[in-house]
Structure 1
Amino acid sequence: MSNITLLGLSGALRRASANRQLIREAARLFGTADLTEADLNLPLYDGDLEEGEGIPEAVQHLAAQIAQADAVVISTPEYNKGPSGVLKNALDWVSRTSGTPWADKPVAVMSAAAGRAGGERAQMVLRSFLVPFQSRLLSGPELHLADCRNQFDAEGRLISAPYTKTLQVLMDKLRVEVTR
């Protein structure tokens, strides 16, 4: 398979967030692939909005990106022991689109958080959010990047060998799923 397309979904909207950096590092370790970073700055899900105006164009675009990607890499921060509202909102909106963009899609999940658990609880909850979509969610290895603000060098590369090794194994497994 040539020109593998990875879609990155960051649960943080900040351009310089550790979760965006982690997605970029995952793509680098994945190897030859085209990375697209999805825009999750969507309106809050509102049934009245959906009924009155339909699915927003930005949501339709996101669903199309998911459908067209060969694999999806998701990274979430942990807010109050769960994934970000930004990420949950995007998942809720995409679930309202026609078709099944997530079906049988290889998906790797990771988390980056300031705390010492590295977003472990957020990642566990996120995994449960993905179950209804019937994607090919990788079971591991799990990457919970703790103290995330201090884990990247000036070029955006992970500085910790154990984290880098875990991310490499996860990306190797994702590549196998893509070519399966």
Structure 2
Amino acid sequence: MSIRFQLLLLGSILLQACSSIPLAEKLSVEEQNSINVHANVNAALVCNQPADYPKEACDYATKEMEELLGKTGWISNFEASPENADLVITFGLPNRRPYYTTPAHNPAFALLAFAIPFWWSDNFGYRFEATCTRCSLNTTIDTEREGTIVWWGFSSLINISPNRALQNDHERELEHIKLQLLPLIQAINKNA
């Protein structure tokens, strides 16, 4: 084997298979079919910010929540006030581990990760409360889970599992959120 081929192989392994993260479980076909409803809901996002956190943290979390819930296709407007909204989403700051505290932030680990696996636990998913203002329904949406991230040159072998991947599959996360939001959306559609 030529040295050029060996370097190409090594580089492709390092670039293609560096991490393995857990995914949310896949919904059954019946559950996937049940979330295919149409809605046009006005929502208000309310961030519960701790006093000792900067305002930017809540702004970032609000933007993340708006992007996530906007992908449902059910919410057309996030600019409504809580009094005028069909749906009020109340959430706190996500419990995420800062990137700089993980082994992936250290360049020395990047060199060693080809041969030595590194792993750490992290939180995935979302937790928030959704309230239907016109139908007085309230539910807690909880897709939070703890998972292990594996950082290794041969992580592609672990990624063969259907519940692991190189990157997070936000579609699965969104399906779980839609399934838990479905009763509120149906109640809003019924009262419209």
Superposition TM-score tier, normalisation by shorter sequence: 0.3 to 0.5
1 or 2, which has the higher helix percentage?
Answer: 1
1 or 2, which has the higher strand percentage?
Answer: 2
Higher relative contact order (CA 8 A, sep 6+): 2
Give TM-score, length-normalised by structure 1.
0.38
> Which structure has the larger Rg?
2
Give TM-score, length-normalised by structure 2.
0.37
